[in-house]
Amino acid sequence: MTDTGSHKLVIIGSGPAGWTAAIYAARASLGPVVYTGVPKQNPSIVLPGGQLMLTTDVENYPGFPEGVTGPEMMSLFQKQAERFGTTVVGEDIESCDFSRRPFALKTSGGGVVHAHAVIVATGATANWLNLPNEQRLAQSGGGVSACAVCDGALPMFRDQPLAVVGGGDTAMEEALYLTKFASKVYVIHRRDELRASKVMQDRLFAQPNVEMMWNKVVTDVLGEDRVTGVELEDTTTGERSHLEIKGLFIAIGHTPATRFIRESGLEFDDKGYIRLATRSSATNIEGVFAAGDVADSVYRQAVTAAGMGCQAALDAERWLGSMGVH
């Protein structure tokens, strides 16, 4: 394999966490190299730019009073990082050897890049139903989303009937959030009981504009440019029905993008997210840091990911300094 050189800091991932880390690291003269990843045809795989590449309107990120599209925001982040000297490589990191220093990272281009420090910022993918129309309308901004907190307050969803698919605490939180804006919130669940905690169920059931759709699965999402409804199938009788809605929120979990480092020696929590030290971006391996949704199963917001990217860059800078790498 080709040795593509050695660097002070390599950042894996190009969402808000990765680009923010790059901005801070570049301004600290660390010469960061960002591996953005390679575009995939499967939308459930993290794209270069992260989950924001599937978000048409971002209205809750500070500094954009008129809102901004997700792709535009990530383009601005990248330009800012490049302005301070960040090197950008459009390849995947396929595996990492953290057992030796400098670390050895295998690239999809067939090379090996060496790094004294690494920030993993590969994010997490929402779990989708994998229906063709669901994916099409999610990518086009047609009313399918995997984040109610991100998108639920948009004008297109206000005072409209909306639906949430899922039965865990995340689905309850998403549905509760939507009750503030929607005329009605349907919760579609494949069984006749929820996995969510009792307290979360009670909070949801107390809302007057919530209706449960028990023993139902979504078999199709209807609408050309915007969601107009969903086709449902009863899991007990097989009966088909049609539910008219103007927005569909998928809340069946997230999968952190860590497959390429599962055998690297890093520690993960019980959900598969990278485990971090308390109040730090440091992992269990010295010199390896993590930021954003790959290590955050709670908030999963662009602004919190950016904050974690800042933290990781500062932690990496201090660690490199302590190791005599300047």
Active site residue 97: no
The pLDDT tens digits of the residues spanning 255-314 come to 999 999 999 999 999 989 999 999 999 999 999 999 999 999 888 899 999 999 999 999
CA dihedral sign of residues 278, 46, 307, 27: positive
Quote the pLDDT of residue 53.
78
The yes-or-no answer on residue 151 being catalytic is yes
pLDDT for res 135: 87
Would 2-125+254-322 and 128-250 be classified into the same CATH topology?
yes
304 or 69, higher pLDDT: 304
Q: Which of 3, 57, 92, 151 is catalytic?
A: 151
pLDDT tops 50 at residue 43: no
Q: Any residues with CB less than 8 A from the CB of 275 and at least 6 apart, and which?
A: 266, 267, 268, 269, 283, 284, 295
Q: Are 249 and 162 in contact (CB under 8 A)?
A: yes
- Averaged over 179-199, what is the pLDDT? 95
Query: 128-250 has which CATH code?
Result: 3.50.50.60
Quick one: three-class SS letters along the chain? CEEEEEEEEEEECCCHHHHHHHHHHHHCCCCCEEECCCCCCCCCCCCCCHHHHHCCCECCCCCCCCCECHHHHHHHHHHHHHHCCCEEECCCEEEEECCCCCEEEEECCCEEEEEEEEEECCCEEECCCCCHHHHHHHHCCCCEECCHHHHCCCHHHCCCEEEEECCCHHHHHHHHHHCCCCCEEEEECCCCCCCCCHHHHHHHHCCCCEEEECCEEEEEEECCCCCCEEEEEECCCCCEEEEECCEEEECCCEEECCHHHCCCCCCECCCCCECCCCCCCECCCCCEEECHHHCCCCCCCHHHHHHHHHHHHHHHHHHHHHCCCC
Structure-derived torsion over alpha carbons of residues 105, 291, 130, 168, reported in degrees to the nearest 10: 140
Q: Is the peptide bond before 102 cis (omega within 30 degrees of 0)?
A: yes
- Active-site residue flag, 96: no
- The residue among 67 and 55 whose pLDDT is bigger is 67
Confidence of residue 56 (pLDDT cuts 50, 70, 90): low
Indicate the pLDDT class of residue 2, thresholds 50, 70 and 90: low
What would the two tokens of residue 20 be?
Answer: 């923010």
pLDDT in tens, 228-258: 999 999 999 999 999 999 999 999 988 999 9
> Pseudo-torsion of CA 83, 85, 89, 92, nearest 10°?
-100
Q: What is the pTM of this model?
A: 0.83
Whether the CB-CB separation of 312 and 283 falls below 8 Å is answered with no
Confidence category of residue 42, pLDDT binned at 50, 70, 90: low
Q: Residue 44: its pLDDT value, please?
A: 46
The answer regarding whether domain 2-125+254-322 maps to CATH 3.50.50.60 reads yes
What's the average model confidence in pLDDT over 108-126? 94
Q: What is the mean pLDDT of the chain?
A: 92
What is the rounded CA–CA span in Å between residue 306 and residue 295? Answer: 13
Assign 326 a pLDDT band (cuts: 50, 70, 90).
confident
Q: Check whether 113 has a pLDDT greater than 90.
A: yes
Q: What is the pLDDT of residue 4?
A: 60
Of 57, 92, 96, 150, the active-site residue reads 150
Rounded to an integer, what distance in angstroms lies between the CA atom of residue 52 and that of residue 67?
13
Q: What percent of the chain has pLDDT over 70?
A: 95
pLDDT at 3 over 70: no
Of 147, 293, 310, 315, which residue is the catalytic one?
147
pLDDT of residue 262: 92
The closest alpha carbon to 34, from 264, 312, 302, belongs to: 312
51-60: average pLDDT: 78
**pLDDT given at position 162:** 98
Query: Which residues touch 244 (CB under 8 Å, ≥6 apart)?
Result: 161, 228, 229
d(CA 138, CA 207): 27
Per-residue pLDDT reduced to its tens digit, 130-174: 999 998 999 888 999 999 988 999 999 999 999 999 999 889 999
Domain ranges of the chain: 2-125+254-322, 128-250
pLDDT interval class at 70 (50, 70, 90): confident
Residues 191-210 have a mean pLDDT of: 94
